[in-house]
């Protein structure tokens, strides 16, 4: 059953709609029920566009809609809808228009971006970190700034170098016939701005638009949505400005704050009932966010839950004592039957996890860390996908350079340079030069044979794809066997490492198989043509997906940013000290600096951490931390002074007996009595 506010959001038909959904209020349920209701209203499924920030969120939304749509006819409707990330949608638009004009393109992943910037940096003779240049270029694109629009800093060497390299980087992209991740949104917007006819086509195609996590949109994404929704005005944005925590990577909180200005006659619906957390946790969350000093949409969380325990504020003498308390408390919860997967330790920065990890290992408590290496950034996965991309698009020079000498076939950097130079002289593509290696006198006979062996693999794969006698997952397996990928892994890695890396490859096969199952269950008219396999391969990596899902029963260790969207029965929010939360970069830097999140974003981050907890919340800090072999006193986070004393127990723990409370603000039994009266 939907509550009254949820029903109002679901039933709204035409016109702009802003749904302000507090943490734990069931916003995904609103989106899925609203889409189902639009279908009941007779809206054609192909006219509905739902945008998310991750492939995982898009997949879950599609799954939930499928559960609501029972009939076979409804399932056909689901297949006809577009539910994707912003970047996958941008790629769809660009690929449609580029295919019409016969201009195929490839997509740079993060490795390609860094490799290109390294080459450009060599010419400057500056020893700078290319990843910091890449981050600045990404921020500029998220803010919809062209190279010529970057401001002069005059003092920051990274800012000045970015201004120098940004146009050269864009030229390199054009030379490769490529877009990077951010271009998929930016270039879609620019195309629509310069081609009103194309904009009109896409406006008519998608008459109803729904957006999840609207508070996280950047300027480029806002421009995309504003243009697309301009004609029909049927934009439903769901979000919460109190959970806007990505300003450091370009998200613009003003997009949600100024929604009613951007889209006049907006209906605003507030979802304030929290279905997740206990009364004490709700009280703490409300108290924290009520102290925001910036503009916000006023909301007050409430819950109908009656039971609950007080929030505990733990004061430890040191990080070691803090970690020991957490580990032993986790062990107590396990002894009482709590599953480790329902327990999380959250922190502001990655380097805070080390002490907790060590203590958990000492007690043999299994854990996982969110934010590890991305699945599609793993070498074995990227190599196999590069072969598949080449079979589908031989002009993809980035993929060609990646795997022409993998496995080793005598085509290292020196011979690749000879191929590139000959291609440049003749006006050929690099693939054309490889195809005509026999005519290149500077190549050795072994290098020519290497080119022939490489081409044989590509041609065999192309033939299998053309015959269409086997599904792509089968062809991918054949490709892995053809390049002896498994053998190579076990030859060059320790057995355990090789087995783990081969498991990644098997997971890739499974991803292709899932796509094939989805297509086979769709109506024939909704099935994608074979050429869209290339779009699928590109789309796999578009949102820099989370590392492989670890479904084992383990405690979660995560940064506060990575924990967004998750929930746990038990949460430990650690390191709540000045300089950690809020972070020293914020405390020591003027809030006017556009690349540094200000204090209020840190407050929202604290709020997000608090609202991850269902039943048990521990907020901890250490009195001192070591810095350059010196014990430095640490001040409690300024956010702790906003905690409501009637819902919080403060416990100062001893080094030798961390479970012993030295001081209570209020007795636990008294607090439970108070909570039960609510």
On whether both 401 and 534 belong to a single domain, the answer is: yes
Which domain, by its residues, includes 427? 376-539
544 located within any domain: no
Q: 23 among the known binding-site residues?
A: yes
On whether both 515 and 455 belong to a single domain, the answer is: yes
Q: Looking at 495-504, 569-578, 669-678, which range is the least confident one?
A: 669-678
Q: Looking at 180-184, 305-309, 628-632, which range is the least confident one?
A: 628-632
Residue 24, Ramachandran bin (φ over 0: left; ψ between -120 and 50: alpha; else beta): left
CATH code for the domain in which residue 132 is found: 1.10.10.160
- Write out pLDDT tens, residues 135-163: 999 999 999 999 989 887 667 888 999 99
50 located within any domain: yes
CATH code for the domain in which residue 483 is found: 1.10.486.10
Which of 293-307, 524-538, 654-668 has the highest mean predicted lDDT (pLDDT)?
293-307
On whether both 399 and 509 belong to a single domain, the answer is: yes
Last residue of a domain, one of 271, 305, 331: 271
- Write out pLDDT tens, residues 75-91: 677 888 999 999 999 99
Give Rg (Cα) of the chain. Answer: 27
Q: 359 among the known binding-site residues?
A: no
Residue 640 has pLDDT above 70, yes or no: yes
Instruction: State percent of the chain over pLDDT 70.
Output: 90
Residue 670 pLDDT level (bands cut at 50, 70, 90): very low
- Write out pLDDT tens, residues 230-289: 999 999 999 999 999 999 889 999 999 999 999 999 999 999 999 999 999 999 999 999
- Answer yes or no: are the C-beta atoms of 307 and 676 closer than 8 Å: yes
Structure tokens at 350: 């990655």
Task: Supply the mean pLDDT for the chain.
Answer: 88
Q: 25 among the known binding-site residues?
A: yes
What is the average pLDDT across 451-477? 93
What amino acid positions are annotated as catalytic residues? 27-28, 212-213, 243, 612
667 located within any domain: yes
Residue 496 pLDDT level (bands cut at 50, 70, 90): confident
- Write out pLDDT tens, residues 93-123: 999 988 888 788 888 888 889 989 998 998 8
Please give the tally of structural domains in the chain. 4
On whether both 411 and 348 belong to a single domain, the answer is: no
Question: Alpha-carbon distance 545 to 511, whole Å?
Answer: 13
On whether both 386 and 406 belong to a single domain, the answer is: yes
Q: 337 among the known binding-site residues?
A: no
What is the average pLDDT across 504-528? 73
- Write out pLDDT tens, residues 384-443: 999 999 999 898 888 999 999 999 998 988 888 899 888 888 888 899 999 999 888 888
Q: 21 among the known binding-site residues?
A: yes
Q: 620 among the known binding-site residues?
A: no
Last residue of a domain, one of 251, 271, 291: 271
Question: Alpha-carbon distance 220 to 226, whole Å?
Answer: 10
Question: What pLDDT does residue 656 have?
Answer: 54
- Match 């250490």 to its residue by tokens: 622
HSE toward the beta carbon, residue 172, CA cutoff 13 A: 18
Last residue of a domain, one of 223, 248, 271: 271
Residue 50 pLDDT level (bands cut at 50, 70, 90): very high
On whether both 583 and 672 belong to a single domain, the answer is: yes
Residue 668 has pLDDT above 50, yes or no: no
Question: Alpha-carbon distance 325 to 314, whole Å?
Answer: 9
């Amino acid at each position: 059953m939907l509550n009254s506010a949820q029903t109002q959001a679901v039933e709204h038909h035409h016109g702009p709609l802003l749904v302000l959904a507090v943490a734990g209020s069931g916003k995904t349920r609103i989106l899925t029920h609203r889409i189902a209701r639009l279908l009941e209203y007779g809206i054609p499924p192909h006219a509905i566009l739902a945008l998310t920030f991750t492939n995982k969120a898009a997949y879950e939304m599609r799954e939930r809609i499928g559960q609501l749509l029972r009939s076979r006819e409804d399932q056909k409707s689901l297949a006809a809808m577009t539910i994707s990330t912003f970047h996958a949608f941008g790629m769809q638009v660009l690929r449609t228009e580029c295919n019409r004009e016969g201009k195929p393109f490839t997509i740079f992943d993060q490795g390609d971006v860094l490799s290109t910037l390294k080459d450009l940096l060599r010419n400057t003779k500056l020893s700078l970190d290319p990843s910091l240049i890449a981050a600045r270029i990404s921020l500029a694109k998220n803010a919809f700034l062209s190279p010529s629009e970057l401001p002069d800093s005059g003092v920051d060497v990274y800012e000045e170098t970015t201004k120098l390299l940004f146009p050269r980087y864009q030229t390199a992209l054009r030379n490769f016939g490529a877009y990077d991740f951010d271009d998929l949104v930016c270039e879609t917007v620019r195309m629509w701005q310069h081609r009103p006819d194309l904009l009109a086509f896409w406006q008519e195609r998608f008459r109803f638009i729904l957006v999840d996590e609207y508070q996280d949109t950047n300027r480029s994404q806002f421009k995309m949505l504003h243009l697309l929704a301009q004609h029909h005005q049927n934009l439903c944005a769901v979000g919460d400005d109190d959970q806007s925590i990505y300003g450091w990577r370009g998200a613009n909180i003003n997009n949600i704050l100024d929604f009613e200005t951007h889209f006049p006659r907006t209906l605003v619906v507030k979802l304030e009932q929290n279905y997740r957390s206990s009364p004490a946790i709700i009280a703490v969350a409300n108290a924290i966010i009520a102290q925001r000093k910036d503009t916000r949409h006023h909301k007050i969380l409430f819950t109908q839950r009656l039971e609950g325990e007080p929030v505990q504020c733990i004061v430890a003498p040191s990080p070691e004592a803090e970690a020991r308390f957490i580990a032993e408390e986790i062990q107590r919860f396990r002894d009482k039957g709590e599953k480790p997967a329902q327990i999380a330790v959250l922190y502001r920065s990655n380097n805070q996890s080390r002490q907790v990890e060590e203590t958990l290992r000492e007690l043999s408590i299994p854990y996982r860390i969110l934010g590890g290496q991305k699945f599609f950034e793993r070498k074995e996965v990227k190599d196999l996908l590069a072969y598949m991309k080449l079979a589908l698009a031989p002009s993809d020079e980035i993929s060609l350079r990646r795997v022409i000498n993998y496995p080793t076939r005598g085509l290292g950097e020196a011979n690749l340079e000879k191929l590139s130079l000959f291609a440049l002289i003749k006006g050929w593509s690099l693939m054309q030069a490889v195809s005509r290696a026999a005519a290149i006198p500077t190549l050795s006979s072994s290098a020519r044979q290497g080119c022939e062996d490489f081409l044989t693999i590509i041609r065999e794969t192309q033939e299998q794809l053309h015959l269409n006698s086997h599904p792509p997952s089968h062809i991918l397996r054949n490709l892995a066997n053809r390049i002896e990928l498994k053998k190579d892994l076990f030859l060059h890695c320790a057995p355990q490492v090789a087995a783990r890396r081969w498991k990644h490859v098997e997971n890739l096969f499974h991803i292709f198989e899932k796509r094939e199952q989805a297509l086979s269950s769709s109506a024939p008219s909704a099935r994608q043509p074979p050429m869209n396999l290339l779009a699928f391969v590109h789309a796999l990596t578009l949102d820099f997906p989370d590392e492989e899902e670890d479904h084992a029963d383990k405690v979660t260790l995560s940064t506060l940013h990575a924990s967004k969207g998750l929930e746990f029965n038990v949460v430990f929010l650690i390191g709540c000290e000045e300089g950690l939360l809020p972070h020293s970069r914020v405390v020591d830097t003027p809030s006017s600096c556009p690349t540094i999140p200000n204090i209020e974003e840190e407050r929202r981050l604290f709020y997000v951490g608090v609202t991850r907890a269902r039943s048990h919340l521990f907020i901890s800090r250490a009195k001192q931390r070591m810095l350059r072999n010196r014990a430095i006193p640490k001040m409690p986070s300024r956010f702790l002074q906003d905690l409501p004393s009637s819902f919080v127990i403060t416990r100062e723990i001893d080094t030798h007996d961390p479970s012993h409370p030295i001081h209570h603000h209020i007795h636990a039994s008294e607090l439970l009595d108070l909570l039960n009266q609510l």
